[in-house]
Amino acid sequence: MIDVVLADDHPVVRAGLRAVVDGQPDMRVVHETGTAEDLLAWLDGGGRADVVLLDLRFGDAGPGSTRLGGAEATGTVVHRHATPVLVVTTYGTDADILAAVEAGATGYLLKDAPTEELARAIRSAAAGEVILGADVQRRLLGRMRSPGENLSARELEVLRLVAAGRSNDAIARELFVSVATVKSHLAHISTKLGTQSRTEAAATARERGML
Amino acid sequence: MIDVVLADDHPVVRAGLRAVVDGQPDMRVVHETGTAEDLLAWLDGGGRADVVLLDLRFGDAGPGSTRLGGAEATGTVVHRHATPVLVVTTYGTDADILAAVEAGATGYLLKDAPTEELARAIRSAAAGEVILGADVQRRLLGRMRSPGENLSARELEVLRLVAAGRSNDAIARELFVSVATVKSHLAHISTKLGTQSRTEAAATARERGML
DNA sequence: CGCCGCATCGTCCGAAAGGTGGAAAGGGCG
DNA sequence: CGCCCTTTCCACCTTTCGGACGATGCGGCG
């Protein structure tokens, strides 16, 4: 019997995951929670599980929230409790997936995966295997080819303003530097991202979840 | 007894909605589907329902897909079958909500709404009342102030490509028109959106969920 | 029928952005 | 101590954009 913990802040999705798990003869839900804190408290309090199903977008509500994110929760669960974490989320940007995998997630699935694939993934995770959905793997491979993300803090700052639609001049005034500096940063950014223009750089940044 | 139809392309979410509905003594699921076409076919074939729970992001997969979107499906269901549609979706941009409401949706909820609120919304929808979540109402009010979105189909097409980082020249070749036309469209777009540059227009478009 | 919105194209010109090739100052590291 | 990276800045030049006109044809609407 595989003991599963559900960690998702959407009640509906939680109910759906429960329905899938309960529909399998060889697994059951032993705990269900809507916050990362609660999940960790339960595990710290002696809770035992074979697999944790976790929404990566845990606590995504506000920018000022001090709540734990899905990636941090994943890392803590994996390292402190040696429990496999299967990340199940709705939309997956490249950065999301990478963050989950780097945090030690055992698997990554999108919520539109068929229930049968989900059940298989849970069994694999419980057995310690690393499972990534076919589309996820494709994304990761495409992602690896492009070196990306060696951007310095300053460059990222500039890139963010570019993606917000500011002109070089506006960015220069906002960062208290000259236009030449902004252009210089932008040139470096485009080199690192392999883009041809500011707009393309902004689009790429968004696509990779770097904003 | 309230007869409910589930229309969502995420199996997990569908299972969750079913669990919520089945947990209520006064309602039941009479049909469940993952595509808008199937939903319409079922209704056209004589299927009767008191409420349709529908994911707005129906068939959001590819740009080249000929599948029906959630908004179109909503409009068809409401007008052809006089059945209340309760839109339940994960992330709701202003444009999404507006599209749903304009298409005639009876209600709009986010998936992170508590199950009890969802059940209440279903009863309200079945009774013909229009129910919008508190946060949704707040968004709508803020949305009304900005004029926006009188963009023509062609202009939107151009805007999408701009947001994807294409140059005017690339867009012109992609749409089989001259660069002058692209610039003309772009000028109109910036006038309508009140933006000063292509990048700002792209940023605004994203913010308003027009992509 | 005229008017308006839409889509298409054109020219001209100035402004913005991008590319090239520097340079200088500071920090970190072997 | 040199070496590299980051950040800052400069000048020069080319490409691209954006604004300001105008012009055509089409379709809907009163």
Residue B79 parent element (H or E): helix B70-81
Q: Which of B15, B195, B198 sits opposite A115 (nearest CB)?
A: B15
Which percentage of chain B shows pLDDT scores above 90? 19
Q: Which domains occur in chain A, in start order? A: 2-144 (3.40.50.2300), 153-207 (1.10.10.10)
Quick one: what percent of chain B has pLDDT higher than 70?
76
pLDDT at A210 (0 to 100): 76
- Asked if B111 lies within 8 A of A13 by C-beta distance, the reply is yes
Task: Please say if the pLDDT value at position B39 is more than 50.
Answer: yes
* CA distance linking residue B159 with residue B200, whole number of Å: 11
Question: B111: pLDDT confidence band, cut at 50, 70 and 90?
Answer: confident
> For C5, which residue's CA is nearest its C1'?
B152
pLDDT score for A29 = 94
A175-CA/C27-C1' distance, Å: 21
pLDDT value, residue A131? 65
Cα A40 from Cα A45, distance rounded (Å): 8
**Mean pLDDT of all residues in chain A?**
79
Contacts of B124 (CB under 8 A, 6+ apart): B106, B107, B131
Q: What residues of A are in contact with residue B16 (Cβ under 8 Å)?
A: 10-19
**More confident position, A162 or B129:** A162
**Inter-helix orientation angle A153-163/A168-175, to 10°:** 130
Convert the pLDDT of each residue in A147-188 to its tens digit.
Answer: 445 788 888 889 889 998 899 998 999 888 999 999 999 988
Check CB contact under 8 Å for A17 and B12: yes
pLDDT at B32 over 60: yes
Q: How confident is the model at residue B103 (pLDDT cuts 50, 70, 90)?
A: low
Report pLDDT for A209: 73
User: How many Å from the CA of A173 to C1' of D11?
Assistant: 21
B199 and A13 within 8 Å at the Cβ level: the answer is no
Average pLDDT over residues A84-100: 73
